Each structure stands twice: as C-alpha cells, then as structure tokens.
Amino acid sequence: MKRIGMLTSGGDCQALNAAMRGVAKCMYNSGEDVEIYGFIDGYKGLIYGDFKLLQHRDFSGILTKGGTMLGSSRTPFKLIREPGENGIDKVDAMKQNYYKLRLDCLVILGGNGTHKTANLLREEGLNIVTLPKTIDNDLWGTDMTFGFQSAVDIATECIDCIHTTASSHGRVFIVEVMGHKVGWLTLNAGMAGGADIILLPEIPYDTKKIVDAIKKRHDNGSRFTIIAVAEGAISKEDAKLSKKEYKKKLEKSPYPSVSYEVAAKITELTGQEVRVTVPGHTQRGGSPCAYDRVFASRLGAEAGKLILKGEYGFMVGYRNREIVKVPLEDVAGKLKSVSPDAEIIKEAKMLGICFGD
C-alpha cells in the first residue's frame, strides 16, 4: 500500500488539477494499492490536519478545470517557524500529521515560497516530491512551469484587444502584466502581442527613452503605442534606492501601481493621452491551455514514477525539452530571472522593441 499526501500552495494558476490528476492516474495504473490524501488550502491543511481521503472519481473530469480542487493559501516561509493558531509549532504539526497518516510521500505543487518550505520538510526527514507551478516561470532548475503558458495566452489576448482600440483612438496604451520580481510573463506576452515597449523588473527604465520611442513611432506614421509593463518594473532612479527607501516611496506614492506612474510621466512629457489596462487575476484564471494540460500531465506522471521507485527529495522539472528530476536543495531559495543579456532580449531589440534602457 502506498499512502500519498498532496497539497497545492501559494498563488493560484491553471493546470494544478491536471498535474494532480497526472500523479493520481500514474499511481492508480501502477497496479499497487494506493491511498491519496488531499490537504485543504495548502500548508494550512497540513499544519492543522484538514484533509480528506481522495477517491478515483475525484480525479475524473478535472483535466480542463482551472483552479485547484484542494484550495490554496499562502503560508510565508519567513513565518514558518513562528507559532501558529493557539501557539502551534507549524513545522512540528506538519510532521506529526504526515506521520499520523503514515504517508510514504508528500506531493507538493507550488512556486518559490512553497519550495522553500518543501525543502525544509525534506531536511526534517519527510519524503517529498514537488511539481513546479507558477505563472511567473521563475523557478530555478526548470525551463518551464505549468500555468505560465496559459497566463501568457491570456495576457497576450488582452494586448491583442487593446491594439484595435488604441489604433482607433490614436492613444498610448499600457497593459500591466503580473510579475513583481521577474519579467518572463510580460516579456513573452509583450512579444506575442506586438507590444512596442516592454518594461521588466530586471531592466530598469529611463522615462525619456520611453518617450523617445513613442515619438519615433509617431514620426514614422504610427498613431498609437502599446506598452507592456510588469508589476515590478522599476525606473533607473528608483533602482538606486535601497529596498527600505523604495518601500517607503511606494507607501507614499499617489499611484496605485507603476503603470499609472509611467502613464502620468508620459503625459507630462508629451501631452499625449495615456490609458492603463490591468488584466490582474484573470491571468491566473480560466481553463489551462492545451500546452499546460499536456505539460502538467507529463510532470504529474513523472512524479508518480519517482514515488513508485522510492526516489524522494526532488522537483520534477523540464530542461532542454526533457523531463528531469532536480534536487530540492538546488531549487529552494533561488529565482530564475530574465537576464538583460539573454538572447530573447537581444532578438526583441532586433525587432525594434524598446525596453526603456
């Protein structure tokens, strides 16, 4: 008998259900007796013993469904050692619930913060296998995360829709794409949607360069400009501030986000009308695209194979078009950022895309 625990932690994204289904299908088709316990709302369920025994039918019909049938929540790694409700020791509680159910392995689906805690549990002696989910595609050790392509498709469609109205009114339009620390989503959606200017957290921008790019388009006969801005985009001036100084500046800022600040400065320097569109959490929602359904299913199946072989302490990743196992200690605490010197950035610049640098 194989007893497996499963939880989804952190921000929501598409194909979580597809990935869990992949694990379950692999286990059920192995010929072994299997029990799968789902912990409700991520690590919170593991801490407070909120779980349910899942049945075969629970994994039926979920391949195409977005969200997660187990629910999710954020349990910050920096607070994991602090007492929880009623003074509970969170780490000890997770271990006790793992042992109480006599689990052979815990399958954890999540992003950066989730993997830090997963690695901590591995260090505490639990058998862990993880799957890389995040729309940001910023997990170290894998070329791709599930949820990313679905989010790219949604953000791209938003930019596509903006094109027609921007052209009709001859305006500058800013589309703010998710991504506080890294710009993979904004970069890919911006290129796919034909954005003229793309602003990323990794490449601090100069507002004058943005204005120059807009004027150049106008001089060449273009009536409009599309700017894709990552949530975490930052100006060259602000990039020189310490984290503490920048945080204070944001607290006092009259703008709800960086996109509105960029819009205000463009209007101030050019007198041109600027509109901001924020697709927000729509980028996390809806059904997973076909790519993510296949990709998440493959990762899930490979996770099931690792469990059947008794190989624990790994994230199932994707490198050079192959599914690979990556040691958790190599993943935890590392961020996969967009390098300003990356080939995709150079190629985007060849296409005439401005990054404000």
Q: Are 236 and 209 in contact (CB under 8 A)?
A: no
What are the φ/ψ torsions at residue 61 (nearest 5 degrees)? 75, 15
What is the rounded distance in angstroms from the CA atom of residue 112 to the CA atom of residue 59? Answer: 26
> How does strand 225-230 pair with strand 51-54?
unpaired
49 close to 58: Cβ distance less than 8 angstroms: no
Of 41, 136, 196, 292, the catalytic one is 136
Q: Angle at Cα 324 formed by Cα 298 and Cα 106, nearest 5°?
A: 70
Q: Quote helix, strand, coil % in the chain, to nearest 5.
A: 45, 20, 35
User: Could you tell me the end-to-end alpha-carbon distance of the chain, in angstroms, rounded to an integer?
Assistant: 58
CA-based nearest residue to 111, from 79, 81, 77: 77
CA distance 9 to 68: 10
**Amino acid at site 289:** C
Is 136 known to be catalytic?
A: yes
Q: Which residue type, as a one-letter code, is found at position 262?
A: V
Q: How many Å is the Cα radius of gyration of the chain?
A: 22
Sign of the CA dihedral running 299, 285, 247, 79:
negative
Pairwise CA distance, residues 226 & 177, whole Å? 13
The residues annotated with a catalytic role in the active site are 136
